Structure 1
Amino acid sequence: MKTLIKLVCIGFLLVCLAAIRFFETSLFYDPLLNFFHSDYLKGVTPEFHFGKLVGYTILRFLLNTAISLLILYVAFKDSSVLKFSALLYTIVFVALISVFCIMLLQVEQIDNFMPLFYVRRFLIQPVMVILLLPAFYYYKRQHD
């Protein structure tokens, strides 16, 4: 029964992550969404408000991070996993948001938009939880 409750909680949190993705156009300011869905290699970069775009990217990262940390906590019930994950998320966030801001400020000089695409994607999608869940599971199995 305890496992069922854990799975239901994780399922609900995964639905929350999916809802953020599903409603991204109405929840977040991101003119790069349509830009990267179109033929961006031939297109002109869209006009955007730098502060607003960065702010909404940070908000989305924080929402995804909070839900991802909850998933990891529910899955493992281990504060050391939570602390390590929070530290990792913080380090990755500081590095990627810095690179993202620099790229946005230099967007007119960019010849290849793929680095911007991938940095932005890593910031707005819950990629790290997909990596950390199996990593911690494997670690726990090896050390228990």
Structure 2
Amino acid sequence: MRLWSLHPAVLDRAALVACWREGLLAQAVLGGATRGYTRHPQLERFRACADPVAAIGHFLASVQTEATARKYRFDASRITRPDAANPEIPVTDGQLAFELTHLRRKVAERAPAWLERLPDSAGEVPPAAPSFVVVPGPIAGWERP
């Protein structure tokens, strides 16, 4: 499961689609609708929120908004809490840098033309998804580098 901390606009088609699908799975897990993936480390940051289902709803809504802008048809009715307030989940600049490097490796293999659309990995902090607020720090403890 990869719930990207990077802004959905940075994600290539495959990453955006996978993030949507895996975000829906995370929503089911956080809502108690499935017994699998309940201990997945990517869910820790959503569970730390006062309302985890609302937090994943906000996250999914931002992914769906980007998909719509690209003329993809992600079914917004599948989001349990699409109008949830921004949870402002902390994400470190180190985590964002790690994810950008990870995304660059994947994109280099499957969609090399997308590389030019990605931020420079040696420059400024990559943009975070709307559900996150950037704070200084290393790669997250839940990440599996």
> Structures share a fold, TM > 0.5?
no
TM-score with structure 2 setting the length: 0.28
TM-score with structure 1 setting the length: 0.28
- Decide which structure has greater helix share: 1
Tell me which structure has the larger Cα radius of gyration.
Answer: 1
- Decide which structure has greater strand share: 2
